[in-house]
Amino acid sequence: MVTLKEALKFSNEELENLKKELNEKARQQKELGAYVEQFLNKDLSVSGAGVPVAIKDNISVKDWELTCASKILQGYVAPYDASAIVNLRKKNFAPFGRCNMDEFAMGSTSATSFYGKTLNPLDHTKVPGGSSGGSAAAVAAGIALASLGSDTGGSVRQPAAFCGCVGFKPSYGRVSRYGLAAYSSSLDQIGVLTQNVEDAAILYDAIAGYDEKDSTSAKIAFEATTPKLNPNKKLKIAVIQNYIEQTNDDVKQVLLKTIDMLKANGHEIVYKDLMDSKFDVAAYYIIAAAEASANLSRYDGVRYGRRSENCDNLNQLYVNSRSEGFGEEVKRRILLGNFVLSSEYYHAYIQAQKVRRFIKQKYEEILSDCDLIFMPVAPSVAFGLNDVKTPVQMYLEDIFTISVNLAGLGGISVPVAKNPGGLNISAQLICKAYDEQTLLDGALSLEEMIKNK
């Protein structure tokens, strides 16, 4: 598959031929379910000229349906481009194809979509991860050059690790959230999924920067990372030892070998511990659910989206529209959010915010002495489509990714090996806030080290 870097040199005619080729490949792999269009028997959506980049179904593209893979938003057409899309167009990229996802980005399997499940391209009996599972599957299957996703608690990095591509979440505020359908506003961040680290830097450079339309956008100087990429830079990397010990044997052995290779290539390795990840999970799901319950209150059957029929009064309209329109996982998180924000249990939300501050402080302590942090992306490789039996099991798939969002830091998952069954294993690198240059340098060094081993 041609890379983003190569495609940027194509003529207009070559780009049109490339889009036709991607459409044909997508038709041939219809069963994968990576694109919403594959469920609707349509060609991939196209918006403008340029290098094609697939777009997750929660990022606004003017005149495209924006449904967040939910029944309640069927028929809603975005009236404007998200800021990330505006920036893409300026750099000769074009939105191409609407990627499937977990409904409202709530999930780790891409199985809660209104349209149906996405399959892992490495093994169709396994999940692709979530919530950006469609974005990761499309890139890994060669039916997208690259894709935009969103990452609230690992939703770019975990599916990238399960499918075998690069998943990069910038620091909170580095990429504008204007035009991204909100799940948890203090955690959401648009990220990129690509075939390699250099492409991740190219796509990140295209969408990053301050945006006055987003009140949470970081008003700090932004410099392009791609021209300064340096895989030869020797870094001090903190390995989170207690997290590696929590992974299964396949993942653990690969990560330990990767650490040895980093040492052999001149990087300084130190060993650190973070607090038990169960506290991350507890804080994350309280905060995320509370913010989700507020953000999703706008979907009421009145202003936009699907409206229930045959309602006798306004209250019945609200209840029926939301009951019929939202899936089970979304309802579950709305209920949890309303519960922790109630006057009787609001102390749980306050406590979760205190834990969040403590998590951020622990990361800052480690990164004050180190350039990067090294840890797993997930405790195992991609699991079976029917292996997750309870919501709690699904929540625990995020134990190594959610703390990065709570701290507002940048993180990237890089493929490092395959297990005996051919499933991908990735390592995760984390940087100081807004130090994406060091993160991408370290990721490129890791990627080249793996290719040359």
- DSSP assignment of 274-302: ---HHHHHHHHHHHHHHHHHHHGGG-SSS
Pair of tokens at residue 303: 């202003």
Going from the C-alpha of 377 to that of each of 34, 153, 252, 283, 428, the distances in angstroms are 21, 11, 11, 19, 5
Indicate if 186 belongs to the active site.
no
- Are residues 391 and 383 in contact, defined by beta-carbon separation less than 8 angstroms? no
Indicate if 184 belongs to the active site.
no
- Are residues 284 and 398 in contact, defined by beta-carbon separation less than 8 angstroms? yes
**Residue 118's closest CA among 106, 107, 102?**
102
DSSP 183: S
For the chain, the distance separating the N- and C-terminal CA atoms, rounded to the nearest angstrom, is 22
Pair of tokens at residue 125: 């009996």
> What's the CA gap between 174 and 186, in Å, rounded?
13
Active-site annotation holder among 70, 113, 131, 445:
131
Helix, strand, coil shares of the chain as percentages rounded to 5? Answer: 40, 15, 40
- Are residues 439 and 410 in contact, defined by beta-carbon separation less than 8 angstroms? yes
Indicate if 131 belongs to the active site.
yes
Active-site annotation holder among 70, 83, 147, 155:
155
Angle at 17 between CA 140 and CA 224, to 5 degrees: 60
Active-site annotation holder among 19, 56, 126, 169:
56
Which of left, alpha, beta for 82 (phi over 0: left; psi -120 to 50: alpha)? beta
- DSSP assignment of 214-262: -TTS--S----SGGG--TT---EEEEEHHHHTTS-HHHHHHHHHHHHHH
Contacts with 11 (C-beta within 8 Å, 6 or more apart), sequence order: none
CB atoms within 10 A of CB 306: 19
Angle at 80 between CA 141 and CA 10, to 5 degrees: 45
Residues in the chain: 453
Q: What is the edge-to-edge ordering of all strands in the sheet holding 51-56?
A: 93-99, 51-56, 146-150, 190-194, 166-169, 410-418, 424-431, 372-376, 236-240, 268-272
Catalytic residues: 56, 131, 155
